[in-house]
Structure 1
């Protein structure tokens, strides 16, 4: 939603405020006087009444000019859709993403302030982070912050009705300008369900691809082990064949040696009987 159309004077004051509030606070007062004098008339008088920003608000204005807050606004819209859809998983994911983004944007604001010659204290940095967080979770605050015309930081915990008017110099927008129309809830849920199905299918495909690769590795390992086992079997078979041949040769030698031993034993017996006969004959001759 947008507010009423601005007048030409409002546009001039808003432009001057955006330029002045991006200057280091120490230069604000003198620059405001110069701008008011140059504008003159009603616009000049309104410019002269612009309030000097706090250092934290000025740092947020630098962040807006740096172009980093657009991501925060997009995340804000996504959070609102997740809340409408009662999508707990998406809310948890976006909540984590929001905290990371807010912290990163706050750090960037601190870097920009330091580069401009005015480092932020811990308290100022905390105010910047609260303001960025408020812009993420509240579209009205986002619209105010994105003007780049903050004069004071915004804390949702202490923001009163109409409080944005006190925090913004010049006109206060109502809602984020140029916001696209919200999708029909049923259509959005169907789209999210389709997106989840795609994500789940992609995860399943990735899991299957990993398992296939692991199976390929296991198969290659098994094949390598089988090849080594076959090589060992073939080696053992060759060894067995050689051992069997050696055993056959040894058996043949044993047979031959057994025959030789039998022949030698028979010859020994024959010789023994000859000896016995000879001794008997000698004995008979002696007795005669």
Structure 2
């Protein structure tokens, strides 16, 4: 018995390995390398491997460099948002997808240039179309991630991406992704609702914290003013007590000098009378 279960499975794996090696080469070197590998029981299948177009080969470069991880994570989130009919999330992820696709296409063009392969404007557009297809369709993503893409992919509306003849070697399993069940959708929506509620609660908590900080700052400022005015009031009360004491002393002095003046006036009147009497006696 075949240890792998089927000779066909082993042959397909071997063919995929050979194809992966060949598609790692620049397109100009592909044909000669392919013909050199066309030996043994897989000679016919190897010989039948098609030379990749530049745009597909550049995407294969990205896959081998591990540059599509973020894109496929975003793709999964985008498909989930589509399942949940989450319009705001769809809009946000759509903008993020376009930005990421443009950046990845530029990265693919630069990587091709490092292999002395020029990517035309049309080929770059095909790269972007392929990346978009991979992000919008799980089957296309699986095909792209083989690193054995032969031609570019195109996503057209809601139809499945055409993968016929797009991948060299075996086609990845699970070309069509099953639609989520009602229970799955309900669970996703519940999770989305819980996540939204958590975000809103966090936002409310942050706003409350900011408001508390604002109120505390105002309160601290008011406390400073109260303390300042209390100090001033204490100073004024001490000054008032001093002034009152000075006023009492001044009144006491005034009363004493009033008495002194009355006595002096009485003495002056008595002395004037005596002087008048003395002048009259002389006359």
Q: TM-score normalized by structure 2?
A: 0.78
Judging changes above 3 Å, is the alpha-carbon distance between structure 1 residues 100 and 252 closer, same or farther for their aligned structure 2 residues?
farther
Whether 1:20 and 2:22 are equivalent positions in the alignment is yes
- The CA RMSD over aligned residues, in Å, is 3.5
Is there any run of 5+ residues in structure 2 with no aligned partner, and where?
1-7
Deviations 1:212-267 (A, max 9, x none): 34344333333333222222222222222222222222222232333333333333
Distance 1:161 1:206 in 2: 44
Whether 1:35 and 2:37 are equivalent positions in the alignment is yes
Distance 1:162 1:132 in 2: 12
Distance 1:272 1:94 in 2: 118
Distance 2:43 2:178 in 1: 36
Contact 1:143–1:173 (CA<8 Å) still a contact in 2?
yes
Q: For residues 1-288 of structure 1, what are the structure 2 equivalents within 5 Å?
A: 7-36=9-38, 39-41=39-41, 43-118=42-117, 124-156=123-155, 163-173=162-172, 175=174, 182=180, 184=183, 185-282=185-282, 285=283
CA drift at 1:162: 7.8
Is there any run of 5+ residues in structure 1 with no aligned partner, and where?
1-5
Distance 1:109 1:270 in 2: 129
Deviations 1:92-123 (A, max 9, x none): 33323333433443344345445545475665
Judging changes above 3 Å, is the alpha-carbon distance between structure 1 residues 257 and 209 closer, same or farther for their aligned structure 2 residues?
same
SS in 1 for 2:163: helix
SS in 2 for 1:165: coil
Q: Which deviates the most, 192-201 or 121-130?
A: 121-130
SS in 2 for 1:133: helix
Judging changes above 3 Å, is the alpha-carbon distance between structure 1 residues 51 and 231 closer, same or farther for their aligned structure 2 residues?
same
The structure, 1 or 2, with the larger RCO (C-alpha pairs under 8 Å, 6+ apart) is: 1
Distance 1:258 1:114 in 2: 115
Q: Which deviates the most, 114-123 or 232-241?
A: 114-123
Contact 1:142–1:175 (CA<8 Å) still a contact in 2?
no
Judging changes above 3 Å, is the alpha-carbon distance between structure 1 residues 196 and 176 closer, same or farther for their aligned structure 2 residues?
farther
Contact 1:165–1:172 (CA<8 Å) still a contact in 2?
no
Distance 1:102 1:16 in 2: 29
Q: TM-score normalized by structure 1?
A: 0.77
Distance 1:238 1:174 in 2: 94
Judging changes above 3 Å, is the alpha-carbon distance between structure 1 residues 245 and 162 closer, same or farther for their aligned structure 2 residues?
closer
Distance 1:130 1:273 in 2: 135
Contact 2:136–2:155 (CA<8 Å) still a contact in 1?
no
Distance 2:126 2:214 in 1: 51
Contact 1:82–1:91 (CA<8 Å) still a contact in 2?
yes
Number of residue pairs matched by the alignment: 275
